[in-house]
């Protein structure tokens, strides 16, 4: 690009910038502002004039909670209270093991319920009708293992203590 072409290009760019700045200034001083909707107040039914400036008190929040704030606060947050230990009492195991039948995968346990009824239970079945009492995790010849949320419990056959 020749030096003469560069000068012409820079002159055109500067003239364009001056023209844009002049357009912005003309719009700021001489162009009419956009139409403002007239607002009515409850006490005065006539519309507000465009020339009245809004009151500065209208922009301040009059929320009563804002003014009742405590200004004096401690320099640091107090440490949190120590955690309280929650002691959960689990129900005792209410079933008794009467006997077992060992057949590999099909092993069964004869369980006496609290009501006196004897039920036949397999691996993975609930010991009682309530899920909180647990399920049978394993069956051996002399005991069963009941798995609950508080751990595993072993129940031996009656009279084999």
Phi, psi dihedrals of residue 108, rounded to the nearest 5°: -130, 155
* DSSP percent split of the chain into helix, strand, coil, nearest 5: 25, 20, 55
Write out the chain's pLDDT in tens, 161 residues.
899 999 999 999 999 999 999 988 888 887 776 666 655 545 555 555 555 555 555 555 666 666 777 778 778 888 899 999 888 777 788 889 999 999 888 899 999 998 999 999 999 899 888 877 889 999 998 999 999 888 888 999 887 65
* 46 vs 42: CA distance, rounded Å: 10
Going from the N-terminus, what domains does the chain have, and what CATH number goes with each?
96-156 (2.30.30)
For the entire predicted model, the pTM comes to: 0.45
């Amino acid at each position: 690009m020749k030096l003469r072409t560069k000068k012409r290009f820079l002159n055109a760019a500067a003239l364009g910038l001056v023209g844009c700045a002049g357009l912005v200034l003309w719009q700021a001083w001489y162009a009419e502002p956009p139409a403002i909707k007239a607002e009515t107040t409850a006490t005065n039914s006539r519309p507000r004039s465009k020339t009245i400036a809004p009151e500065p008190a209208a922009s301040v929040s009059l929320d009563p909670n804002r003014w009742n704030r405590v200004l004096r606060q401690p320099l640091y947050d107090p440490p949190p209270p120590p955690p309280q230990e929650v002691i959960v009492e689990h129900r005792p195991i209410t079933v008794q093991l009467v006997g077992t039948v060992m057949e590999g995968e099909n092993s069964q346990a004869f369980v006496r319920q609290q009501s006196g009824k004897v039920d036949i239970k397999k691996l993975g079945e609930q010991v009682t009708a309530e899920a909180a009492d647990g399920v049978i995790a394993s069956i051996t010849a002399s005991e069963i293992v009941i798995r609950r949320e508080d751990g595993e419990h072993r129940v031996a056959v009656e009279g084999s203590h």
